[in-house]
Structure 1
Amino acid sequence: MIELVGLIAGLCTTIAFLPQALKCWRSRSTGDISLTMFLIFAAGVCLWLAYGLAIGDLPLVLANGVTLFLVLSILWMKVRYG
């Protein structure tokens, strides 16, 4: 049951970035996105992913792996489209 709660929590926090990533991709506009915030957030997600891998926690690994992909996608668009 605890693992299920972790998976659902990870799903919710991960898919929260999907609308932003899609909006950036469709509009090719990232002017209102803070580069500093996303860089700090990406560093935190990397650390959570490393922590999840170290303790073998599947919900942490899955959620932070996908979140990192989405955040790095947004950062790439931020750099590319400004």
Structure 2
Amino acid sequence: MEIIGFIAAFLTTAAFLPQVYKTWKTKDVSGLSLPMLLLFFTGIVLWLIYGIQIKSPSMIFANCVTILSSFLLVYFKIKYAKK
């Protein structure tokens, strides 16, 4: 079962990375909602805690990478937001 988890982790994490890259390159954060990003970040932190509790390597791996990615989007949204 864990192999299915790793495949899912790879696909969902990989799907998120182009948005991070595009935002970093263009510095355009107009399409990003800060409340949504904060809710998403909080949810991923909770998924990580859950993954640690059930000792699921795939959940731990995926959520660690996604926490970093979503944190970067929150950072970019704050840094590049029009004043």
Common fold: TM-score over 0.5: yes
Q: CA deviation at 1:55?
A: 1.4
Q: Is 1:14–2:13 an aligned residue pair?
A: yes
**1:60: which partner in 2?**
59
Which amino acid in the other structure matches residue 47 of structure 2?
W
Q: Taking every aligned residue pair, what percent have the same amino acid on both sides?
A: 38
**1:27: which partner in 2?**
26
SS of structure 2 residue aligned to 1:15? helix
Which amino acid in the other structure matches residue 65 of structure 2?
V
Q: Which aligned runs of 4 or more in structure 1 are off by greater than 3 angstroms? A: none
Extract unaligned runs of 5+ from structure 1.
none
* TM-score of the aligned structures, taking structure 2 as reference length: 0.94
Aligned positions, number: 81
The CA RMSD over aligned residues, in Å, is 0.6
* TM-score of the aligned structures, taking structure 1 as reference length: 0.95
Q: CA deviation at 1:22?
A: 0.4
